[in-house]
Amino acid sequence: MSAILHPSPPLDLAFVDEAIAQEGRSPESLIPILQRLQNHYRYLPNEALRRVCALTGLTPAHVAGTASFYARFRRTPTGRHHVRVCHGTACHVAGAQHIMDSLRRDLHLPPGSDLTPDAEFSIEEVACLGCCSLAPVLMVDGRVAGRLNAASATLAITQPAHHP
Ligand code: FES
């Protein structure tokens, strides 16, 4: 993992204009617009939300409130690999917090951040992933890894080819 931080390129806001042109400017269009932005940017950048307000006339409180209300919308950037660690009941009982703590330590996540300094990995706690018999479970880039311990959880995301 490189420790060098690369400055983020300026956000291309043309996609926001496109999304609004497709979905419309009414309050009912807001969730479909946010979904398009989330799919495109992989989170909801503040600059994009400000552009939504400017083009739709919706208030910042309304847009920010909607963006924060739904768990599927992320307000912080994701890494190139996004890791979802299940904290549903079965996984919680099987040691999900221990998995989370060891991943944070092994990936050198700064306190309070869910993104590694090189933006390679982001980590998110999620509700049941629907494969409780494999608890504890995580999902990385859409692939499930289960029956984890601290060591195998790190391997599952850093060396996926070696993890079943
Ligand atoms: S509780 Fe983790 S997969 Fe169901």
SS3 of residue 31 by DSSP: helix
Please report, for the domain that includes residue 142, its CATH number: 3.40.30.10
pLDDT, tens only, 92-148: 999 999 999 999 999 999 998 999 999 899 999 999 999 999 999 999 988 999 999
CA of 68 to the centre of ligand 1 (A): 24
CA of 135 to the centre of ligand 1 (A): 6
Looking at the structure of the chain, the number of domains it has is: 2
CB 26 less than 6 A from any atom of ligand 1? no
Ligand 1, atom nearest to 90 Cα: 1
CB 34 less than 6 A from any atom of ligand 1? no
Same domain, 64 and 115: no
Same domain, 109 and 149: yes
Q: Which residues contact 137 (CB under 8 A, 6 or more apart)?
A: 86, 91, 129, 131, 144, 145, 146, 148
Residue 119 within any structural domain of the chain = yes
Same domain, 85 and 65: no
Run of H or E residues at 84: strand 81-86
pTM above 0.75, yes or no: no
Ligand 1 atom 1: the closest Cα is on which residue? 88
CB 135 less than 6 A from any atom of ligand 1? yes
Same domain, 93 and 148: yes
pLDDT, tens only, 9-65: 578 899 999 999 999 999 999 999 999 999 999 899 999 999 999 999 999 999 999
Residue 2 within any structural domain of the chain = no
By residue range, what is the domain housing residue 96? 81-162
Q: Which two tokens stand for residue 116?
A: 């590694």
Distance, in Å, from the CA atom of 135 to the CA atom of 132, rounded to the nearest integer, reads 5
pLDDT, tens only, 67-80: 988 878 888 888 98
| Sequence letter at residue 89 | T
CA of 102 to the centre of ligand 1 (A): 19
Residue 25 within any structural domain of the chain = yes
